[in-house]
A and B are shown apart, each in its own frame.
Chain A
Amino acid sequence: VPVFPWHSLVPFLAPTQSD
């Protein structure tokens, strides 16, 4: 049975740097 890590379920939303 595959086991998935918790962090694969939520989006990785990296703030884009605007400079």
Chain B
Amino acid sequence: PVPAPCNPSHFMKGAIIQLATGELKRVEDLQTQDFVRSAEVSGGLKIDSSMVVDIRASQQRPGLVSLHFNVGEQQSKVTIDVPPEHPFFVFGQGWSSCSPERTAQLYGLACHHLQVGDVCVSITLQQQLQPQQQKQPQ
């Protein structure tokens, strides 16, 4: 069999995913709550809500799609270039990609069509809070 290095096999239908709770699920059976729970019990990782604000063809890398996100409470602007078949997990909706047809061909994973306004699950490092400064009496 020819390996397909560009297609990470964790998105293949039937791939076994371990949640932070230790539970094993197939990638196609994952629910929003699985990501939320996993982030809660895993130290150091935090779930962010990342809203898709723009989708366009990548200028730098032909064949890829530039996805523009507003990330987290800060609404930080982040752009990533991905192949059109790359699936994202949309809150309350599930797997979605820019090309559900290609995702189905390459991974066998059923996807919705990713659109502007969709809110995707993303992760970031939990903010390491500085020790509270003691309030010195003046």
Please list the residues of chain A having a beta carbon within 8 angstroms of any beta carbon in chain B: 1-16
Of B18, B35, B69, B71, the contact of A10 (CB 8 Å cutoff):
B35
A-B contact count (CB 8 A): 73
Classify the interface of chain A: helix, strand, loop or mixed.
loop
Nearest CB of chain B from residue A16's CB, rounded to whole Å: 7
Please list the residues of chain B having a beta carbon within 8 angstroms of any beta carbon in chain A: 8-11, 15-20, 24, 27, 30, 34-35, 38, 42, 45, 48, 50, 69, 71-72, 74, 76, 78, 80, 88-89, 120-125
Q: In the complex, which residues of chain B have a beta carbon less than 8 angstroms from the beta carbon of A4? A: 9-10, 15-18, 27
* Inter-subunit contact A15/B76 (CB<8 Å): yes
User: How far is it, in angstroms, between the C-alpha of A12 and the C-alpha of B124 when the chains are bound?
Assistant: 6
Q: In the complex, which residues of chain A have a beta carbon less than 8 angstroms from the beta carbon of B42? A: 7
Nearest CB of chain B from residue A13's CB, rounded to whole Å: 4
User: How far is it, in angstroms, between the C-alpha of A1 and the C-alpha of B42 when the chains are bound?
Assistant: 24
Nearest CB of chain B from residue A8's CB, rounded to whole Å: 5
